[in-house]
């Protein structure tokens, strides 16, 4: 199978996307086609055997063929017109804005290009941490208590310290701070408001257990990864996650009971269907007093969470055969014609 990897785009997580894309070269045996979207939202075809992170930071990528997106795929100009770039499907590997907020999903759906990744509604819900909370509660999955502060609102919270501050629409731990006293609150909010006009405030619970579980639904049921218990300090900052997103080495399975693992999988299933069909997602869960809470839904996890699966290639190929299909709209003007006919026109 020939798989196109779309990465980059106009996002605070642009560099993370580059790292993720390069990591997939190490774990996928399928033929890969790399399509880079730069900060100007222009597409370039990057030769697979030449891809390195330096080519993007230096601007060297601009020497490669520029692409245009049209119905059915990506095309490059040739002497006799335009030539289609051949691939069977693509993976949306754009982290953050453009990739996880629904813009790229809209584009791919509009031009009828098959892809693995969150559809528009899934993107909108998972990109906004408030909407994620509301969605999870609607699906019967617990969330930690929270407050939302706007940039120009009164900077007061009714939680006991410590608390954690997060930009409402951002990932990769960018702009996140653990605030241990009221004296630290203003600075943490200033940092978060650099990236968003709204922030999420949650209690920071020392010693809470965290587990990551990735998966997707395919034709014959769910494909689940191992459950990982991240080894970390207070939280993974941007630098640590930058390195984390290049992971290709499989992690060890968390030492948890079969009962807890089943609870995590049931919560995952509740969140996954039907919104995330066609996606490989990773859910980050908290467990506190034996109760499962969802922390985040990652619709495009770093390096596609390849390191959590025993056979990542098989998962991707199975998912490629279980993509949701769009509702067919007939090309007809029945109502206009009936009105015109009734008027004798």
Q: What is the mean pLDDT of residues 188-207?
A: 91
**Residues 44 and 129 sit within 8 Å (Cβ to Cβ):** no
Is 168 a residue whose pLDDT tops 60?
A: yes
Greatest C-alpha distance within the chain: 77
pLDDT tens figures, 88-119: 999 999 999 999 999 999 999 999 999 999 99
What is the pLDDT, as a whole number, of residue 172? 60
Give yes or no for residue 150 having a pLDDT over 80. yes
Predicted local distance difference test score (pLDDT) of residue 47: 97
Phi, psi (deg, nearest 5) at residue 169: -130, 70
Q: Please report the pLDDT score of residue 344 as a whole number.
A: 65
- Per the prediction, the chain carries an average pLDDT of 91
Asked if residue 27 lies in contact with residue 313, where contact means CB atoms within 8 angstroms, the answer is yes
pLDDT band at 242 (very low <50, low <70, confident <90, very high): very low
pLDDT in tens, 17-53: 999 999 999 999 999 999 999 999 999 999 999 999 9
Beta bridge partners of 69: 74
β-strand pairing of 81-84 with 89-92: unpaired
The pTM assigned to this predicted structure is: 0.90
Sheet harboring 43-46: ordered strands across?
A: 81-84, 73-78, 66-70, 43-46, 31-37, 2-8, 89-92, 115-116
Say how far residue 162 (Cα) sits from the centre of its chain. Answer: 28
pLDDT of residue 248: 66
Token digits of residue 171: 């990932």
State the pLDDT confidence band at 327, using cuts at 50, 70 and 90: confident
Question: Per the structure block, which two tokens stand in for 17?
Answer: 């996307």
| Rounded CA separation 228/318 (Å) | 22
How far apart CA 105 and CA 102 sit, in angstroms, is 5
Do the beta carbons of residue 168 and residue 130 sit within 8 Å? Answer: yes
Percentage of the chain exceeding pLDDT 90: 77
**Which residue would you say has higher pLDDT here, 247 or 254?**
254
| pLDDT exceeds cutoff 90 at 81 | no
Predicted pLDDT at 337: 82
**Stretch 247-262: mean pLDDT, rounded?**
86
- pLDDT at 250 exceeding the cut of 90: no
Local confidence band at 171 (pLDDT 50, 70, 90 cut-offs) = low
- Using CA atoms, how far apart are residues 208 and 299, in angstroms rounded to an integer? 23
- The interaxial angle of helices 129-138 and 120-127, nearest 10 deg, is 110
* Percent share of the chain, pLDDT over 70: 94
Residue 236 has pLDDT above 60, yes or no: no
Supply the pLDDT for residue 79.
Answer: 79
SS (H, E, C) 273-291: CCCCCCCCEEEEEEEECCE
- In tens, the pLDDT along 256-283 reads 999 999 999 999 999 999 999 999 999 9
* Higher-confidence position of 157 and 146: 146
pLDDT of residue 336: 85
């Amino acid at each position: 199978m020939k798989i196109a990897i779309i990465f980059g785009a106009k996002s605070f997580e642009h560099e993370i996307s580059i790292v993720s894309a390069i990591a997939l070269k190490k774990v996928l045996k399928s033929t890969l086609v790399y399509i880079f979207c730069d900060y100007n939202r222009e597409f370039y075809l990057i030769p697979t055997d030449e891809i390195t992170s330096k080519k993007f930071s230096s601007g060297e990528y601009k020497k490669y063929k520029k692409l245009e997106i049209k119905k059915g795929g990506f095309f490059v100009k040739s002497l006799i017109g335009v030539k289609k770039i051949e691939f069977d499907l693509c993976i949306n590997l754009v982290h953050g804005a453009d990739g996880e907020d629904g813009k790229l999903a809209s584009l791919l759906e509009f031009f009828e290009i098959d892809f693995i990744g969150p559809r528009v509604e899934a993107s909108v819900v998972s990109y906004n941490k408030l909407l994620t909370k509301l969605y999870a509660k609607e699906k019967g999955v617990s969330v930690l208590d929270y407050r939302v502060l706007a940039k120009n609102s009164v900077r007061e919270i009714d939680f006991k310290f410590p608390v954690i501050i997060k930009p409402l629409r951002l990932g990769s731990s960018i702009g996140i701070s653990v605030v241990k006293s009221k004296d630290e609150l203003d600075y943490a909010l200033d940092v978060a408001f650099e990236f968003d006009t709204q922030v999420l405030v949650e209690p920071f619970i020392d010693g809470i257990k965290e587990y990551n579980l990735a998966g997707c639904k395919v034709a014959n049921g769910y494909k689940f990864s191992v459950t990982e218990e991240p080894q970390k300090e207070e939280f993974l900052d941007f630098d640590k996650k930058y390195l984390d997103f290049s992971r290709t080495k499989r992690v060890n399975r968390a030492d948890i009971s079969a009962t807890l693992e089943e609870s995590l999988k049931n919560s995952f299933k509740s969140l996954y269907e039907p919104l995330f069909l066609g996606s490989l997602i990773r859910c980050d869960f908290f467990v506190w007093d034996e109760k499962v809470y969802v922390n985040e839904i990652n619709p495009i996890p770093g390096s596609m969470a390849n390191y959590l699966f025993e056979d990542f290639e098989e998962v991707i190929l199975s998912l490629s055969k279980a993509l949701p299909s769009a509702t067919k709209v007939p090309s007809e003007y029945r109502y206009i014609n009936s009105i015109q006919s009734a008027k004798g026109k």
